[in-house]
Structure 1
């Protein structure tokens, strides 16, 4: 018999698993929906010393009491931290760990590092600003639960119950570092990704394909994945489907990433067009592709996406896509500019924005560049960096382009209230020309942000041209070597050049 230990996230308790637990028991499984110390109906036990270690001990004691030979531990959101901590103490008892719509905490990480609520993270990172007796955090009101993740699919009565039964979260549970052992990394794991919250198997495969060493463990055959088409609380929105996924995970089923890992990563394959080679000049983190010219020429600054691990080689400006675009622009008499900005983590958007602004100033100060004719071109998750320029376009900015962009923060990115929201910023872009290249086979979680942007652009009558690649994938320039894809690149490039020269 398998025993499931279900551990919920911030502010909640074992009650949140009621429907999932019932369905698991109907299958014959032993189920333990856990209410951690100080949470749910045990809120009266919380105190200033309640921390992550308290919750780890809760789970260790429960593991010791369970007779079933196979224990599957499922951690949702914050719950994965005590799950991993307890598994590190009793690895021989754990058959599988299920990460339910949550990232991968590393040894030494506090839970606040993975919290999607940026405002809460900022508060906890500045403890000197808190009162001495402020040792717990009140749960958000009903209309703010989306700050913690997408509430898509939750029935109104269940969402009301979620807010009503929420308990304050002891600060120590979020700030105490998690300590792991090598034994935990050897345990079988399953990731359950909630697509409406911004996660998908396709996105994980893409991140692994970029070569981030932190993610290579996900290609281990002991690691499996499932998707649920719902928001961050599937135990409330899709309990039947979640119970089924947990049973299949316990049986070792699920999608494996190993088959998707190729010797040649997609982003390092050749550019889809043969373009003339042009001289490249490197200045710090910036590369300039220079046309033959006897006077200053317009420039296009290409901005890559991310997050990109700081140790990744080659860096984005040496990827075939950006080299190809830079050379293509130079062949048309425009200075092509690529750069490596420091978007290494989702918390780095501010730093990356500064890097882009610095690169733009360097380019505009170059005597070979017409400082009054510059365009910015964004790719993938770099699309969020367009927000500042859309919100208040300077007179020298002649065009903003975006290719398979993310144009609103995904729900689990913790940037909902940040300035990096192009779908809002476009409303003040005026008649700044915008060229958007949209791929027909876009990942669903990204396509939603593009549609949000286009709806806002239509409402404010923005000056936007959409270039469609009906059968194109995200990163199509090195994946889809078709005439349609080449035509789309050519059309987008020449449209941007026209705006620079007009």
Structure 2
């Protein structure tokens, strides 16, 4: 049974996606903690419970430093780093500084950038143009406005209402900024989890699938529950993360 396969000595760091905050990992974090794991759910500057810090100057580097600081100030080692959606860009860049503290990475329907790519590069020109227009019309020109939670595939009205009450705008600079080196992320043991139905771009999925074929230290899994599977299917997400912990134990 999955209950017995993972060691609880390894901390989890659960990183949220765009316009979200650490709050979105609550149902999964509580399940991991009941299994005895230490779990951190940091929120990136300007978002969620740190939305009072929202400012046009916040860029990708700010968010990368947020994650690096979490590892440094919490003295984290031998951890499992889990990144959802936009968080994949942040985690991939941060690995240049924290790879020695991370045992295993998990990308949950997340962006996996190569050096020099931005979020807009990864989502494609048509979607990037739509986001830019939305920012001009509804985001004061410098934020990505929130979307109704149904945009992420959620259908339960109670979850939609709760998520809508938590979402916050995000500085568009974080989407425009190119990432630096991601070499250490691409060479690190990890897993990609495709949430079904996914919101990931097809070429991002192809990139992850190809890596899983070529790299014996990289796994590919699917998970029912829409892009917001950590909220809509926390039990399934837990099972995936327990498998990741088991793989990490075997490395």
Under a length normalisation based on structure 2, what TM-score does the superposition of the two structures give? 0.83
Distance 1:42 1:178, change over 3 A: same
Q: Confirm or deny that 1:31 pairs with 2:39.
A: yes
User: In 2, distance between residues paired with 1:165 and 1:187?
Assistant: 33
Partner of 1:137: 144
Q: Which residue of 1 aligns with 2:186?
A: 185
What is the CA–CA distance in structure 2 between the aligned matches of 1:181 and 1:116, rounded to whole Å? 19
Query: In the TM superposition, what is the alpha-carbon distance from 1:51 to its structure 2 partner?
Result: 0.8
2:243 is aligned with 1:248: yes
Rg comparison, structure with higher value: 1
- Name the structure 1 match of 2:171: 170
Of 148, 153, 176, the residue aligned with 1:150 is: 153
Q: Deviations over 1:352-372 (max 9, x none)?
A: xxxxxxxxxxxxxxxxxxxxx
Q: Secondary structure at the match of 1:34?
A: coil
Report the aligned-residue RMSD.
3.0
Moved over 6 A (4+): 126-132
Q: Aligned equivalents of 1:192 and 1:132: distance in 2?
A: 31
Go from structure 1 to structure 2 and tell me whether the alpha carbon gap of 1:221 and 1:50 turns closer, same or farther (over 3 Å shift).
Answer: same
Structure 2 Cα separation of the partners of residues 234 and 128 of structure 1: 27
Tell me: CA distance 1:157–1:248, structure 2 relative to 1, closer, same or farther (3 Å). same
Between structures 1 and 2, the one with greater helix share: 2
| C-alpha distance 128-189 of structure 1, shift in aligned 2 (>3 A) | closer
Larger RCO (CA within 8 A; separation ≥ 6): 2
Please state if 1:13 is matched with 2:21.
Answer: yes
Unaligned runs of 5+ in 1: 254-502
Seen in structure 2, the aligned counterparts of structure 1 residues 181 and 84 have a Cα distance that, compared at 3 Å, is closer
Count of aligned pairs: 237
Matches within 5 A, 1:246-325: 246-252=241-247
* CA–CA separation in structure 2 for the residues paired with 1:122 and 1:116: 9
8 Å CA contact retained: 2:28, 2:235: yes
Specify whether residues 216 and 244 from structure 1 end up closer, same or farther in structure 2 by C-alpha distance, changes over 3 A only: closer
* Match of residue 93, structure 2, among 79, 85, 100: 85
Write the deviation string for residues 91-122 of structure 1: whole angstroms up to 9, x where unpaired: 11111111101242211111123348955x10
- Aligned pair in 2 of structure 1 residues 192, 41: CA closer, same or farther (>3 Å)? same
